[in-house]
Chains A and B, each alone.
Chain A
Amino acid sequence: MWRFAGRRALAAVLVLFAISVMVFLIFFATPGADPAARIAGRNASQETLAQVRASFGFDKPMYMQYGLMMRHLFIDRDLTSFVNRGSQVIPQITQAIPVTLSLVIGAAVIWMVLGIIMGVAATAGRGTAVDPIIMVFGVIGVSLPVYWLGEVVNLITQSRLHDSWFAWVPPLGYAPLSDGVGTWALHLVLPWMTLAVLYAGIYARVLRSEMVGAMNEDYVRMARAKGIGEGRVLIRHALRTSLIVIVSLFGLDFGALIGGAALLTEVVFGLQGVGKLTYDSLQNFDLPVILGCVLYAAFFVVVANFIVDLAYAWLDPRVRHV
């Protein structure tokens, strides 16, 4: 297991390196336009261009340029945005990351718990009304668009019923953990729910179909023949083997959300997260910010996948050696 973890960690580092090289090539080494002009943004003055050229070493060889870029990003952390008149990029990103992480991790916990409960309950209730009812809820969850659901939630909790039922709902926006866990959670609870509804629906459906398949397997029949309770058969045998699929799905979704796919939720609830930041910088052609966002997002996606790989190996002994 440790060797496996070590190998995976090494692979993760290599992937990160590869991504950074690729990003570098795309941003700086694509032939055609002058990279300095792209970084400096539209209508940049000659001084700005010269400044950019010097700080990114565009007259130096490629590998030096790559090194300089990395240095600006991770060592000196002094990458500056030119569109926004010299604002520092890295602090923007490090501010956005906790927001997105809070949003996505919280939502992930909710949707995993909800999805698993729904999936297991539907499997256990096969042949009764429970199963189709849960699955219909799942479909509804899947088909509600996040931005619409978010707006409705906001409409109800922020204006219509804000004075009666939802008086506890704080105004939109993010409160850092340093303000206290309660405040933090209170600000996020509605965004969490909104984001989780979609995924809980998907996960419940996938899990149900996996588990119903597993219930037909010989090993489930064997487990029953041993005289153990139906609950244990369901959880320890059918769910345990079906989790393997759920976890690999989770790795993909979680990584994508952290990398910016939670944009809609962030926008609707006024959260200044990575998705929002990337979106804004794309609008302004603010290349340094895009650069920073892409690499930081990649970092978290790779780390998330690394953790999922470990969970996967822990869940499925068959992958440990390969």
Chain B
Amino acid sequence: MTASSPAEPNAPILLEARDVVKHFPIRTAQGRQQVRAVDGVSLKVRTGETLGLVGESGCGKSTFGRCLVKLIDPTSGSVLFDGEDITHMSRRELRSRRTGFQMIFQDPYASLNPRRRAAATVEEPMRTHGMGTDQEIRARAIHLLQTVGFDESYANRYPHEFSGGQRQRLGIARALALSPRLLIADEPVSALDVSIQAQVLNLLADLQEEQKLTYVFIAHDLAVVHHIADRIGVMYLGELVELGGSTEVYNNPRHPYTEALLSAIPVIDTDTEVRERIVLTGDLPNPIDKPSGCAFSPRCRYAQDICRVEKPLLQIQLDGREVACHFPVATGAK
């Protein structure tokens, strides 16, 4: 069973990332070095599909998300939206495409203008893109605020007068304002309690069904990603290490990192269920000084000599899963 309507397998590809790389220069005691935040990620997202992205904190998910909507320029590689290369587009060309893709930011407060009231925050993108008269815009803003659970008494409040989860919902309302076709949602529900989280996830699913929206959904809560996504991509140190159907990845991880990640999900009632938790040891992943060979090898319990020398490529396995590992975990070995 799937939550949202599964994307038709032959739906057109809406978003394609081709070998996207983003390096940040930083100064360190050893002089100038590069943070290899995103290190060659390629993937395709079909119209109407939800792609979940998970991975260690700092592995480059947000940076990749920003590259996808061209909020930052990738160091190399390109992003195709609807078949058009947006990475090398001029500002003017891009502006007309902007309404097509929106981003919900991880940092709800930092992305809100502190001097703008809630309703104005939601209206602002509609105004810049001239989407109707003042009244229409206002009405739509109020409607959007209601969809994310605010009554009208919230419309005139400033961001600092909202709670953490309320700010997050405000960010969602703003992203929806332009009726985008693609939504990059960076941790959109992390600050919400489970009940409102459920409402928001249901809302996203409804919108997807009605408007054939496409989502790239970045989150740490694996149960949430499993629920909302059709496919899950797992990132580690700026690379995609596993990509496959949501249920398959969740129930049957093939990359050792995915396996460790899933085993660390806190279980609700610790006294009734004990499952083996794989504790990751070894060097902490460092995007400045990446290990040779497989990036995960220093912490991998299955690592062998070849892993430290030769970098495994993302390869399609027999079951259709894409895994970047020399020794993928066997199917059904959970």
Name A residues whose Cβ lies closer than 8 Å to a Cβ of B: 213, 216-218, 321
**Could you tell me if B25 and A216 are in contact, using CB atoms closer than 8 angstroms?**
no
Q: Is the CB of B25 within 8 A of A213?
A: no
Partner of B115, one of A213, A217, A218, A321: A213
**What B residues does A216 contact at CB under 8 A?**
114, 160
Report whether A213 and B114 are in contact in the complex, using a CB–CB cutoff of 8 Å. yes
Shortest distance between the CB of B72 and any CB in chain A (Å): 11
Which single residue of chain B is at the shortest CB-CB distance from A209?
Answer: B115
Nearest 7 Cβ contacts at the A-B interface: A216-B160, A213-B114, A321-B25, A218-B109, A216-B114, A213-B115, A321-B24
List B residues at the A interface (Cβ < 8 Å).
Answer: 24-25, 109, 114-115, 160
Chain A residues within 8 Å of B109, by CB: 218
8 A-B pairs (CB sep. < 8 Å) = A213-B114, A213-B115, A216-B114, A216-B160, A217-B114, A218-B109, A321-B24, A321-B25
A216-B114, A321-B24 are known; give 6 further A-B pairs, CB within 8 A: A213-B114, A213-B115, A216-B160, A217-B114, A218-B109, A321-B25
Assembly CA distance A80 to B160 (angstroms): 63
B residues in contact with A321, CB < 8 Å: 24-25
Residues from chain B with a CB closer than 8 A to the CB of A217 are: 114
Minimum Cβ distance to chain A for residue B71 (Å): 13
Q: Find the B residue at minimum CB distance from A320.
A: B27
In the bound complex, residues from chain A placing their C-beta under 8 Å from that of B114 are 213, 216-217
Which partner residue on chain A sits nearest B159 by CB separation? Answer: A216
Docked complex Cα distance between A217 and B158 (Å):
12
Q: Closest B-chain residue to A216, C-beta based? A: B160
Distance between A21 CB and nearest chain B CB, rounded to angstroms: 26
Q: Which chain B positions have C-beta within 8 A of A213?
A: 114-115
Whole-angstrom distance between the alpha carbons of A217 and B109 in the complex?
A: 10
What separation, in Å, do the CA atoms of A137 and B163 have in the docked complex? Answer: 38
CA distance A216 to B24 in the complex (A): 31
Chain A residue contacts of B24, Cβ below 8 A: 321
What is the minimal beta-carbon distance from B227 to any residue of chain A, in angstroms?
Answer: 30
Report the Cα distance A216→B159, complex, angstroms.
Answer: 10
Complex formed: what's the CA distance from A213 to B115 in Å? 9
B143: min CB distance to chain A, Å = 29
Minimal beta-carbon separation of A205 from chain B (angstroms) = 16
**Within the complex, what minimum Cβ distance (angstroms) separates B275 from chain A?**
37
Please report the C-alpha to C-alpha distance between residue A213 and residue B113 in the assembled complex, in whole angstroms.
11
Of all chain B residues, the one with the shortest Cβ separation from A213 is B114
Set of chain A residues within 8 Å of B160, measured between Cβ atoms: 216
CB A208 to nearest CB in B, in angstroms, measures 15
CB proximity of B50 to chain A, nearest CB, Å = 31
- Bound-complex Cα distance A217 to B107 (A): 14
| Docked complex Cα distance between A321 and B25 (Å) | 8
In the bound assembly, the distance between CA atoms of A39 and B25 in angstroms comes to 52
Least Cβ distance of A3 to chain B in Å?
Answer: 9
In whole angstroms, how far apart are the Cα atoms of A235 and B334 in the complex? Answer: 56
- Docked Cα-Cα span, A216 to B160, in Å, equals 7
**A58 to B109 Cα, complex, angstroms:** 62
| B193 CB to nearest chain A CB (Å) | 21
Q: How far is the CA of A220 from the CA of B319 in the complex (A)?
A: 53
Which residue of chain A has the shortest Cβ distance to B115 in the bound complex?
Answer: A213
The complex places the Cα of A224 from the Cα of B24 at a distance, in Å, of 32
Nearest CB of B to A238, in Å? 14
Residue of B nearest to A3 (CB): B32
* Residue in chain B with minimal CB distance to A321: B25
Closest residue on chain A to residue B26 by CB atoms: A321
What's the least CB distance linking A244 to chain B, in Å? Answer: 15
Complex Cα distance, B24 from A158, in Å, reads 62
| Bound-complex Cα distance A232 to B271 (A) | 48
List the A side residues contacting B25 at CB < 8 Å.
321
| A52, B25: Cα distance in complex, Å | 55
The minimal Cβ–Cβ distance linking B27 to chain A, given in whole angstroms, is 8
Q: Separation in Å of the A231 CB from the closest CB of chain B?
A: 23
Distance A321 CA – B114 CA, assembled complex (angstroms)? 26
The distance from the CB of B3 to the nearest CB of chain A, in whole angstroms, is 34
Least CB separation from A218: chain B residue: B109
Alpha-carbon distance A216/B115, docked complex (angstroms): 11
C-alpha spacing A218/B160, complex, angstroms? 9
* Nearest-neighbor residue (CB-CB) of B25 within chain A: A321
Measured in the bound complex, the distance between the Cα atoms of B107 and A218 in whole Å is 12
Contacts of A218 in B (CB 8 A): 109
- A217: nearest residue on chain B (CB-CB)? B114
How many whole Å from B158's CB to the nearest CB in chain A?
Answer: 9
Closest Cβ of chain A to B123, distance in Å, is: 21
- Compute how far the CA of A321 lies from the CA of B24 in the bound complex, rounded to whole angstroms: 9
Closest chain-B Cβ to A11's Cβ sits at a distance in Å of 19
Provide the bound-state CA to CA distance between A192 and B247, in Å: 74
Instruction: Give Cα distance in the complex from A281 to B15, angstroms.
Output: 63
